[in-house]
């Protein structure tokens, strides 16, 4: 290896994170005081910019897009960020409120910070994350490096198969909007004593939301859509995870993905006790359980199941080769996930404006999506549903093809389009 080779910003970040993570693991009570100068290091800012750019995203309240920054010159933009932070002149702008329509007619609020705020939040996250990672529990999977939803699903399946007969399916009402900022800051301060980092985090919490020209501030919640939000949300609920390990481990096994969590218990009695403990800890965090969506699910008869992270979980009878009957936990994609896949395919192929596109263009667009769905949702128990969805994709292509060819009926195009799609390399879910 060439000893003179310059290290990349990405490698520098990894080295720094390893050092911080190691120091935090070595001493669980250590509070870190010299972090702020690392946030405005140019290599950290370059890596933060690379990640923000890869995530894409729209402009914030200042109207500046990622491509505007590229035109202005990435280096100039990052030097500005560096100077603002170094001289203590950086002040975040409010988050731009944007609504996405939901199927039930309601709207999901999204927050879009400015590109500058996203980059500086990312740089801060790169420095803070390894310290808190060393404190996070095995039960937590959401928005963490080297952890995934698939890992959470696997843990639940194993817990259910280890005589897990009762599940508490927990729903926290408006979690991200109701985090108590003072309590969150106290939890951050348990590991970080650098006043300038704490001031940065507080500024983001208080930046507020701009809607129809008016800025609304709240002393509850984390910055909507902020890069640092998932880390702050995990720091807050890590308090729950730790107390659960201490007092609830005997009742059941916890699996948490961000604000979605389930506890798998062996008996109905354990499930009842677990439910009470969950409520008590959530009260301490000033969080409310959704009265309808939070429920105890009895798995023992195989009549009930629960949805978690896009998969339905249910115990069903199976037989060994010797004819012995036992119950095993099966997972298949939820009805909601199925509908979402259909929606995505329809939104692409149904509009009249899509008729001028070629089959190859559609296949190119569909293939990465199909591959992603297959990777996530495919299980031995999802096969029937996956085959149906494959049929739906071909049906949608047939409808598109018939319209393109100005045929009045699409049914007659099914065979032709099936052959053509396979020739074009269309992937399948099954």
pLDDT tens digits along 420-429: 999 999 999 9
What is the distance, to the nearest Å, from the Cα of residue 331 to the centroid of all Cα atoms in its chain? 20
CB atoms within 10 A of CB 390: 16
Residue 297's beta-bridge partner residues? Answer: 167
Query: Are the CB atoms for 160 and 253 separated by under 8 Å?
Result: no
In this structure, what DSSP letter does residue 7 have? P
Phi then psi dihedrals of residue 318, to 5 deg:
-140, 165
Residue 274's pLDDT is: 97
Question: Quick one: residue 282, left, alpha or beta (phi over 0 = left, psi -120 to 50 = alpha)?
Answer: alpha
Percent of the chain with pLDDT over 90: 84
Please name the residues in contact with 92: beta carbons below 8 A apart, sequence gap of 6 or more: 113, 114, 117, 120, 203, 204, 207
Residue 6's pLDDT is: 81
Cα–Cα distance, 90 to 97 (Å, whole number): 22
Query: Are the CB atoms for 296 and 252 separated by under 8 Å?
Result: no
Query: Are the CB atoms for 406 and 353 separated by under 8 Å?
Result: no
* Closest of 54, 75, 47, 72 to residue 62, by C-alpha: 72
Q: Measure Cα distances from 321 to 160, 318, 330, 367 in Å.
A: 22, 10, 19, 38
In this structure, what DSSP letter does residue 399 have? H
Residue 28's pLDDT is: 95
Low-confidence residues of the chain: pLDDT under 50: 1
Lookup: tokens for 21? 């993570």
Lookup: tokens for 337? 């996930």
What pTM does this model have? 0.91
* Closest of 424, 417, 425 to residue 395, by C-alpha: 417
Q: What is the DSSP string of 207-223?
A: S-EEETTEEE--SBS--
Residue 3's pLDDT is: 53
CB atoms within 10 A of CB 368: 10
* Closest of 211, 212, 187 to residue 201, by C-alpha: 187
Order of strands, edge to edge, in the sheet holding 214-216?
107-112, 95-101, 209-211, 214-216
Residue 1's pLDDT is: 47
> Tokens 């309808």 sit at which residue?
292
């Amino acid at each position: 290896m060439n000893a003179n080779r310059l290290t990349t910003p990405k490698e520098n970040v990894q080295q720094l994170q390893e050092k911080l993570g190691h120091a935090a693991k070595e001493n669980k009570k250590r509070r870190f005081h010299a972090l702020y100068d690392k946030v405005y290091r140019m290599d950290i800012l370059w890596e933060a910019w690379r990640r923000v750019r890869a995530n894409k995203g729209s402009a914030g309240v200042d109207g500046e897009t990622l491509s505007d920054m590229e035109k202005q010159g990435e280096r100039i933009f990052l030097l500005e960020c560096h100077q603002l932070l170094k001289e203590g002149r950086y002040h975040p702008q409010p988050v731009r409120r944007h609504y996405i329509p939901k199927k039930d007619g309601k709207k999901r609020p999204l927050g879009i910070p400015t590109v500058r705020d996203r980059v500086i939040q990312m740089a801060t996250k790169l420095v803070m994350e390894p310290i808190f990672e060393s404190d996070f529990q095995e039960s937590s999977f959401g928005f963490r490096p080297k952890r995934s939803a698939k890992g959470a699903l696997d843990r639940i399946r194993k817990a259910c198969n280890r005589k897990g007969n009762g599940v508490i399916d927990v729903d926290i009402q408006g979690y991200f909007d109701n985090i108590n900022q003072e309590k969150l800051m106290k939890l951050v301060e348990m590991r970080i004593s650098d006043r300038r980092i704490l001031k940065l985090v507080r500024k983001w919490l208080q930046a507020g939301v701009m809607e129809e020209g008016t800025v609304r501030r709240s002393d509850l919640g984390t910055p909507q859509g902020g890069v640092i939000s998932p880390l702050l949300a995990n720091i807050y609920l890590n308090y729950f995870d730790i107390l659960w390990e201490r007092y609830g481990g005997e009742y059941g096994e916890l699996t948490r993905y961000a604000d979605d969590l389930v506890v798998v218990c062996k008996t109905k009695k354990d499930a009842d006790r677990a439910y009470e403990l969950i409520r008590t800890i959530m009260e301490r965090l000033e969080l409310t359980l959704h009265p309808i969506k939070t429920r105890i699910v009895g798995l023992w008869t195989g009549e009930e199941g629960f949805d978690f992270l896009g998969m339905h979980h249910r115990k069903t009878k199976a037989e060994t080769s010797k004819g012995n009957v036992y119950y095993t936990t099966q997972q298949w994609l939820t009805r909601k996930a199925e509908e979402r896949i259909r929606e995505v395919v329809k939104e692409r192929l149904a509009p009249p404006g899509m008729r001028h596109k070629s089959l190859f263009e559609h296949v190119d667009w569909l293939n990465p999506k199909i591959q992603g769905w297959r990777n996530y949702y495919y299980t031995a128990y999802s096969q029937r549903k996956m085959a149906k969805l494959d049929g739906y994709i071909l049906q949608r292509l047939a409808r598109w093809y018939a319209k393109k060819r100005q045929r009045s009926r699409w049914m007659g195009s099914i065979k032709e389009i099936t052959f053509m799609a396979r020739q074009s390399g269309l992937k399948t879910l099954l």
